[in-house]
Structure 1
Amino acid sequence: MDYRKLLLISLGTGSAKVEERYAAKRASKWGVLGWLLSGGSTPLVDVFMQSSADMVDIHISVVFQEALRSESNYLQIEDDTLSGTVSSIDVSTKDNLQDLVKRGDQLLKKPVSRVNLETGAFETVGNGEGTNEDALKRSAKLLSHERRLHESRSPHVKTPRKH
């Protein structure tokens, strides 16, 4: 199998704006309770969840950028700038859902971005890949082409008869 032909599309559900909320100097003085509850947040859970998500981003990016040399075959669309109720997973009011749809539409218009393997931060791609919407359309065309190719070669796929 030619692994360079893999295509991965990751559509995120959005996450709260990445903030440097915990200072190492202050956290070094926390006991067990400080790591469980601090200032209305749960630092241990926050750190675990964010680091887990970051590791997935970095590992997949390394595979596509370094190992496969096919970075354009990995498209991740994620908004990590959400704040307020729109960043909450349990606010399903009509206004909040409409705001999420609006954010999704705005995200489609943003340029494609990738993880910088040196910094771990998402950065806009400057090689002419266009917007997230453009990249999704290119991916859909590739998938459609591959499906037609697969169907044309498969003895198990019946072609529709013309009447």
Structure 2
Amino acid sequence: MLKLKLIIPAVLIVLAGCSQKVHNTTSESKSDSLYVVLKIKDIIKTGEKVTLNFTIHNDQSTERSFCKWHTPFEPLMSKYLDIKDENGNEASYKGPMAKRIMPPPADSYLIIKPKDILSSEVDLLKAYQLEAGKKYTVSYNSSSISGVKATNTVTFRYTK
């Protein structure tokens, strides 16, 4: 019984730290005001970079911030994209997987001014094993970490 009295508060503290989604610079806590739009070329030939454009929008009239972890606004550190072929098979992730402390420190956040955007690009071949002749769908999977809402998926054909 004594162990439960110690374990339950510890679990609650860990869960409370993990639930921090967005660090706002205003008193509002509406995390869905920041959203990401993904873009990629329809057809990409082997030998070319497979460049995904990742743009975060702030449509609000106040500045917002988001955690750059699990986004292309930091060096590649995690699998923040789901990439599946037309049969639903997931592309193998070959990039690094960082373990992080929670909650994220203040320097892990980037600010977006009102009505502004921030864009970054990532070459998918640096972290994912893609096969020529397949059509892929890409989606962002880390909204709960960054606080940025995913709004779309993109598809492309990887050809020889």
TM-score in terms of structure 2 length: 0.28
Larger RCO: 1 or 2 (CA < 8 Å, sep 6+): 2
More strand by share: 2
More helix by share: 1
TM-score in terms of structure 1 length: 0.28
Larger Rg: 1
